[in-house]
Structure 1
Amino acid sequence: MGQQQLLLLVAGAIIVALAVVGGLNLFGGSTTQANKDAVIQDLMTVASVSQSWCMKPALMGGGGGSFTGFTLAKIDWPATNDNGTFTVNGTPTSTELKVDGKTKAGTTITVTLTVDANGKIGTALTGV
C-alpha cells in the first residue's frame, strides 16, 4: 500500500508541474498579443491625431493640408511608452506619412496615412 501511495503522489506532482508549465506558456503568448494590440491602438491614435495636425492650418501650428515637416513631437507623442517605441518612417511628404511602432518583442508595425486628390486621408496598417 505504501508504494502505491508514493506512485500516486509522484504522478500527481508530475501532472501539477505540467499544468503549471502549460499555463505559463499560455500566459506568455497572451501578454505578447496584448502588447501587439496596445501598439496597434497607439498607432491608430497617432494616425488620428496626425490627421488633425495635417488638416489644421499652418498658421495654427498644423500642416496646412500636408504631412511635410511632421514629427511626433508636434503632436506631443512620446517616442517610447509602456507599449513600445514609435518613430516616423522616412521623411513625411505632402501626401504620405509613415509611422512605425515596435513592440517589446521586436515586431514592427507600420501605419501609413495618405492624402488623395480630394484631400481625403486614408489609413493602412502593415506588419499586423
Structure 2
Amino acid sequence: MHRDNLNKLADYLLALPPDYDDFDMGTFCRIPGTEVEYLPQDSVHSCGTVACALGHGPRAGIKPELDEGWRGYCLRQFGLRWWSEEAEWCFSGEWALVDDTPRGAGLRIKWLLDGKPIPDEDELTAITCGPDPLPEKFNYLA
C-alpha cells in the first residue's frame, strides 16, 4: 500500500466542495453525455469530467504513465491490486449505490490508512448490494 498517494488522494477528495457534481463511483472517468471512459493519461480535464475516486487521482496530482490502464494505475500508484478487499473498499463502483460522494470515498481511504477493519468480499457485497445500513464496525461516517 502506498500510503502517501492514498493520503494525498483522500485529502484531495475531502477538500472538494459539498456541492461538487463531477463525481460518480460508477465510472473511472468520462465526460458527461458520453459512454466513453478515459484511461488515466486522458483523465486530467479542467472541468466537466465525471470520475470516481480512483479517476480523480490524476486530478489530485498522482500522475499515470503513458498507456497505463486503471488497474495498472491502481497497483503502481496506490499499491492496491484490483479486486483486492482494500481496492474494493476504496474504489468499488458498487459504492455508487451506497455512498456516491467524494467525502465518503475520502473517508473510506482514511479508514484504510488508519488500519481499521475493512469488509471481506462477502461483507462488502452485503454492504453495497443490500438494503441495510453500514454495520457499526465499518461505519466510516461515524
TM-score, normalised on structure 2? 0.30
Larger Rg: 1
Considering Cα pairs closer than 8 Å and 6+ residues apart, tell me whether 1 or 2 has the greater RCO.
2
TM-score (normalizing by structure 1): 0.33
Q: Which has the higher strand share?
A: 1
